[in-house]
Amino acid sequence: MLIGLIGAPNKGKSTLFSAMTMNDVGIANYPFTTINPNLGVAYANMECAEKRIGVKCNPRNSTCAGGIRHIPINVVDVAGLVDDASSGKGMGNQFLNDAVAADALLVVVDISGKTDRSGNPCEDCDPSEDIAMVKREMAKWLFGILKKHMPAMYKREDSMPLLADIFNGIHVDMSIVKDVMDLLSLPKTRINWRDAEITEFSAAIIEKAKPLLVVANKSDAPGADNNFELLSKKYTGKIIPTSAAVELALRKAAQKGIIDYSPGSRSFRILNEEIDAQQKAALSYMKSFISSKGTNVQEAVDYSAFSMLNNIVVYPVEDENKYTDHFGNILPDAILIKKGSTAMDLARTIHTDIAKNMLYAIDAITKRRLAKDYVLQDNDIIKIVSAIKPK
């Protein structure tokens, strides 16, 4: 799973990326600080299934603290997007190629209204323009790809395989493509759509295939509250106000042992009382800020993993009585899997041979035998019974 941070330059994307992943990247108050995409790992938080079994877990693919399982997800911070990026302006097609690889996109806007669509300083700029620009440029980019392939598709009676190749390359499921074609009554043989049809199709695909979460960053800045209210009236989708700068400062202070802070918490405890007056003042401000508003950076990560991408968490085990793998690790792996997935789908994530030779599954809590088509539930602990085991 890959989450993409996108948006115009100088909106705090790189700061947000660093706050999510604790990776050091270039952060500066000018456009195009990020040239190449930054890759890192953030952690989605979910109450661990150890509470269900009353035994402390021993994670392998994730971590657990205080009964909360921290599940890794990949994050990419891509170069800033500007008007006409689809025509090569700014970082242009590099941005768009990096962006479409993501399963879900977080559009980062400056809710303080102090940067324009190009990332330059301004007064009272409208953050909603950034959202419209991102959608428009992504749709125009897709238009260009499809337009280029129209002659080749028109030559083939069955154009769908070529169309599938295009969308496989940009990580879009063909079921979505077919649904949009049906919705717009577009022909599927000897495809040679008019420009207006390609435009409408491209916009609809971006809307359906690349879910967007608007991250209203710099929520600690003056004027942010008023701008957030105005943006909420213009944009009907999900918006989460964040302060990446405060979150990053808190995580760095925790990393240095100055405070005890858990990402997403509304409070922290000072561990080092020997800090200077300036540090104390900064911590006092941040403590007041998160108690009233929160940085909401962790909320953005969790919303992306669970709500946008519709995932649940499942724990596969080999011993349904001890809840362990063959090394004796208790609840070793927390697997993110789409809601509605079956026991067979879980088997496929473990090993193709196990799935191929799967007999049935077992609910480790109830010890009940489950069919291959059993629909997994959040926090299930499941043993897959197969005729063979992987080498």
Query: Cβ distance 104 to 210 under 8 Å?
Result: yes
Can you give the pTM of this predicted structure? 0.88
CATH code of the domain occupying 312-386: 3.10.20.30
* Residue-range domain boundaries for the chain: 1-37+78-243+293-309, 312-386
- Letter string b/e over residues 315-328, b meaning 16 or more CB atoms within 10 A of that residue's CB: bbbbebeebbbeee
Same fold, 1-37+78-243+293-309 and 312-386: no
Whether 74 shows a pLDDT value over 90: the answer reads yes
Radius of gyration of the chain (CA): 23
**Mean pLDDT on 92-121:** 83
Whether 86 shows a pLDDT value over 60: the answer reads no
Question: Which residues, other chains included, contact 328 with Cβ-Cβ below 8 Å and sequence gap of 6+?
Answer: 58, 322
pLDDT at 91: 45
Torsion 25-31-36-39 (CA) sign? positive
Whether 80 shows a pLDDT value over 80: the answer reads no
pLDDT at 31: 41
Question: How far is the CA of 322 from the CAs of 314, 359, 365, in angstroms?
Answer: 16, 21, 10
What are the beta bridge partners of residue 313? 336
Whether 30 shows a pLDDT value over 60: the answer reads no
Give the integer Cα–Cα distance in Å for 132 and 128.
Answer: 7
Give the integer Cα–Cα distance in Å for 321 and 72.
Answer: 27
Pairing, β 380-386 against β 311-317:
parallel
Whether 111 shows a pLDDT value over 60: the answer reads yes
Q: Between vectors from CA 122 to CA 118 and to CA 127, what angle results, nearest 5°?
A: 65
Question: How far is the CA of 119 from the CAs of 8, 141, 212, 226, 276, in angstroms?
Answer: 6, 21, 20, 20, 35
pLDDT at 87: 58
Query: Cβ distance 334 to 69 under 8 Å?
Result: yes
The phi, psi pair for 38, rounded to 5°, reads -95, 135
Percent of the chain with pLDDT over 90: 76
So what CATH class is 1-37+78-243+293-309? mainly alpha
